[in-house]
Amino acid sequence: MDLMEKIVSLCKRRGFVYPGSEIYGGIQGFWDYGPLGVELKNNIKKLWWKSMVHERDDVVGLDAAIIMNPSVWEASGHTQAFTDPLVECKSCHHRFRVDEVSEKCPDCGGPFTEPKTFNLLTEVYLGSTEPKQKAYLRGEITQGVFINFKNIVDSSRVEIPFGIAQIGKAFRNEITPGNFNFRSREFEQMELEFFVKPEEAEGQKWLDYWKQQRLDWYLGFGINKDNLRLREHAPDERAHYARLAFDIEYNSPFGWKEFEGIHHRGNWDLSRHKVTYQNYTPWVIETSGGVDRAALFFLIDSYSEVGDRVILKLHPQLAPYKVAVFPLVANKPDLAKKAREIYLQLKLKLPTVWDDRGNIGKRYYTQDEIGTPWCVTVDYQTLEDGTVTVRDRDTAQQERVSVTQLDSYFSKKLK
């Protein structure tokens, strides 16, 4: 079993990611996040928001609508330029992205048609009577920022240079979704649009600044630096709005793949929407990361095996649960009662899970596999001196800690 097969199996078995609509045979390009997956994604988003908004004086937030007036997408150029080249097999009529196939159809070996472009925007129809109004599910969350630029400037005290951050769902009618949840038709983005004066020096300064900031953010949460790189787009691969573009790429089991872009969008968007600031049109430096892709790569990067043990060495701040609490022996009322008291006490302060299934070894194995950094075991000594055993996930080392000190102990560990 290769690494991706192990990751997919772990995600299904432990409740990180499930195939969408699985009981009805699934639907390609859509995924559901289980109890642990939703916690991982929420942690990524909270930490991103903390870093990009709460800890800065020059960034404010926004949550724009998923469906906007169709004129937004015409002005932005997406109805004309948001396309992928597509080929169709002449024999089985299956369709593929040009950059994902060779000369013959991978399904039947048949020849391909000439490439044609098709738009990635997903159409929706609004209204209760015919004719219904045609609109689109947003193909990116970016445009909601630009059409609200004037509202934000008028209603807050922001001054250039400043940024607008947003997290939200986007939808693309991908031809060939795949590589687990890497390429999906529904996904979540976390983006910053940072507005600067239209000067070459300013644009380059902030582009360089945000490239380093975003790279450091991923390194700070444990991704191996050897698995990350910045790659500049060649002129012929840049999006229609980009003056310059860089990708943060991860060395995944299926190759170096993008999971965040840092783009110099110039004045493309605001000029297309006829929006100005004072007497000029600002330039935009964008950071655009995928929440789903980040979650996938954090899982891949943290996956390790020691003998027959699987250890998910997620950064503690990313881990779905921070602490697991259990009694040494589940059928001893005194131990179970004391363990339950400690569990309920910790649960008020940080994400904590209760586990009294099987023997202690199996519980450690389970918590290692889902990435829980610390396990608290209540044993007979606890009843005598008020201390518990705290076990570290990555080292398997144990130490005795007073029950009264657990809050401060874990608070220090999570800094």
The residue assigned the tokens 């009529």 is 93
Identify the pLDDT of residue 81: 72
Ramachandran region, residue 65 (left: φ > 0; alpha: ψ -120 to 50; beta: rest): beta
Structure tokens at 187: 């996904």
pTM score of the predicted model: 0.92
CA 144 to CA 137: how far, in whole Å? 12
Classified by CATH at the fold level, domain 323-413 comes out as: Rossmann fold (3.40.50)
Which CATH architecture fits 3-66+138-301?
2-Layer Sandwich (3.30)
Q: Determine the pLDDT at residue 206.
A: 98
Give the Cα separation of 324 and 48 in Å (integer).
25
Q: What is the distance between the alpha carbons of residues 23 and 10, in angstroms, rounded to a whole number?
A: 19
**What's the pLDDT at 52?**
98
- Residue-wise pLDDT for 184-202, tens only, equals 999 999 999 999 999 999 9
Give 3-state DSSP helix, strand, coil % of the chain, rounded to 5.
35, 30, 35
Positions of CATH 3.30.930.10 in the chain: 3-66+138-301
Q: For residue 181, give the 3-state DSSP assignment.
A: coil
How many other C-beta atoms are found inside a 10 Å radius of the C-beta of residue 146?
24
Residues of the chain with pLDDT under 50: none
CB burial readout 298-327, b (16+ within 10 A) else e: bbbbbbeeeeeebbbbbbbbbbbbbbbbbb
**Tens of pLDDT along 274-317?**
999 999 999 999 999 999 999 999 999 999 999 989 999 999 99
Q: 12-57 pLDDT, tens per residue?
A: 999 999 999 999 999 999 999 999 999 999 999 999 999 999 999 9
**Cβ atoms of 410 and 342 closer than 8 Å:** no
Token pair in block for residue 6: 């192990």
Task: Please tell me the predicted confidence (pLDDT) of residue 35.
Answer: 98
What are 117's strand-pairing partners? Answer: 85
In the chain, which residues fall in CATH 3.40.50.800?
A: 323-413
